[in-house]
Structure 1
Amino acid sequence: MIKNPHLTLQTGVVQEQGNIVSDMDGDKVMMNITNGNYYNLGQIGGRIWELIAAPVSVGEVVSTLMTEYEVEQSECEEQVFSFLKHLLDQKLIQIGDEL
């Protein structure tokens, strides 16, 4: 895992182990076993979570979301970076070039 990470479209990302995720009326909710915190990922956040089940680049996540939703690339990138940064701050994902 990278210390002081800088997310780019080429950055690899994958879920951290130790989370239980459930679908509740189309929204994904998650409990982290390590810290005991609950998170509401929402519908699109839940889709991002599904996409990072296996190592994937941030650019691939953005590309997939752009084909599934009507969204401009710049807006999609901004939202994906923001969401992933939050997950990273909470230690819910791993990032790096070696994933």
Structure 2
Amino acid sequence: MTIDCVYSQVEGNIISDMDGEKVMFSIVNGKYYNLGEVGGAIWDLLQEPNSINGMVSQLQEEYDVDEKTCEMQVMEFIAMLHKEGLIKQN
């Protein structure tokens, strides 16, 4: 996985906002996920194909976080989503 890799959401997920955090139910694997506030923001950025680098830039505009920390956390979150089959690499 590199910062230039592009990912997007897969179909089959039901999303709900609960007190500023996103929660999701995957119809495919029958699991619930609490994405949290920032995870929900990342999820929204994946509605259209987006690179890790693009997501980091967009998140830095919204949150007070340095580039390296943001990049590391986005990559970890994307890896989890990909492992769970919730997103696909384009």
Q: TM-score range by the shorter chain?
A: over 0.9
TM-score (norm 1): 0.89
Is 1:66 aligned to residue 60 of structure 2? yes
Runs of 4+, deviation exceeding 6 Å: none
Deviation at 1:86, TM superposition (A): 0.4
State the match for 2:7 in structure 1: 13
What is the aligned length?
90
| 1:41 and 2:35 matched | yes
Structure 1 counterpart of 2:19: 25
Q: Deviations over 1:33-69 (max 9, x none)?
A: 1111000000000000000001111110000001110
Q: Within 1, Cα distance between the matches of 2:71 and 2:29?
A: 29
What CA distance in whole angstroms lies between the structure 1 residues aligned with 2:61 and 2:10?
26
Q: Percent identity?
A: 47
Kindly provide the amino acid, as one letter, of the partner of residue 37 in structure 1.
K
Aligned partner of 1:84 among 73, 78, 82: 78
Q: The residue matched to 2:48 in structure 1 has which SS?
A: coil
In structure 1, list runs of 5 or more residues that go unmatched. Answer: 1-6
AA partner of residue 16 (structure 1)? V
Question: Partner of 1:60: helix, strand, or coil?
Answer: helix
